[in-house]
A = this chain, B = another copy of it.
């Protein structure tokens, strides 16, 4: 078990610049309210949004781009807990501090919402509270599916990952992956070599097509689903 240093910070991170604020929103409509309550923050790629154990005073929503939540073990291994795509909430906590770090994957914009505002909102608007709870359960479901992935063989993990990304992508069978092989490996608990090898195997079996390393077409979803379940 070898040590891998955490990914080098390559680009400078920018502080929030634009701020949009308003108190008016339609009751019982959480996501719109969050947009109005929040501050939009643009980031370059590989920028830390918050670190593990830092105070969790804000919740976040992805506007554009993509975000990874991860933890780094004492020996340098990194485990990615989740990828967050546009529309996803992340950074939800009940304790005082964040339990994961979060970084942008590509150039991204996130909306930061003061935690106290959300709590206040849910106090006066139970329907918004219910929606926040729903989003959290959905996140829980995703996390459980993630855990289900990790007990399987490498081809099964890759298949499930591709199907998950395809489901979350707007377009149909062509998936544009925002993340690197290392990110995928750390999400699936594999090495980059195994990820790479497995993808080429799937291509040789005409199950997927690799247009480029970040663009993948699912030619045979049925075969992928067979590896799944």
Using CB atoms and an 8 Å cutoff, list the residues of chain A in contact with chain B: 1, 71, 73-74, 77, 79, 81-82, 92-94, 99-100, 119, 122-124, 126-127, 129-130, 132-134, 136-141, 143-144, 146-148, 150-153, 189, 229
Contact = CB atoms under 8 A, between A and B. Distances in A.
A204 B44 CA distance: 51
A190 to B, nearest CB: 9
Contact of A79 (B119, B139, B141, B151): B151
A181 to B, nearest CB: 16
Given A71-B148, A229-B73, A134 B94 contact: yes
A99 B93 CA distance: 23
A150 B150 contact: yes
Contacts of A143: 140, 143-144, 147
A140 B147 contact: no
B79 A153 contact: no
Contacts of A124: 126
A140 B146 contact: no
Given A122-B129, A137-B93, A143-B143, A148 B229 contact: no
A144 B130 CA distance: 22
A73 to B, nearest CB: 5
A81 B150 contact: no
A211 to B, nearest CB: 29
A137 B92 contact: yes
A148 B81 contact: yes
Contacts of A94: 133-134, 137-138, 141
B151 A151 contact: no
Contacts of A122: 126, 129-130, 133
A129 B71 CA distance: 29
Given A79-B147, A123-B130, A99 B1 contact: no
Contacts of A99: 141, 144
24 contacts: A77-B151, A79-B147, A81-B148, A93-B137, A94-B133, A94-B137, A94-B138, A100-B144, A119-B130, A122-B126, A122-B129, A122-B133, A123-B126, A123-B127, A123-B130, A124-B126, A129-B129, A132-B133, A133-B133, A136-B136, A140-B143, A147-B150, A150-B189, A151-B189
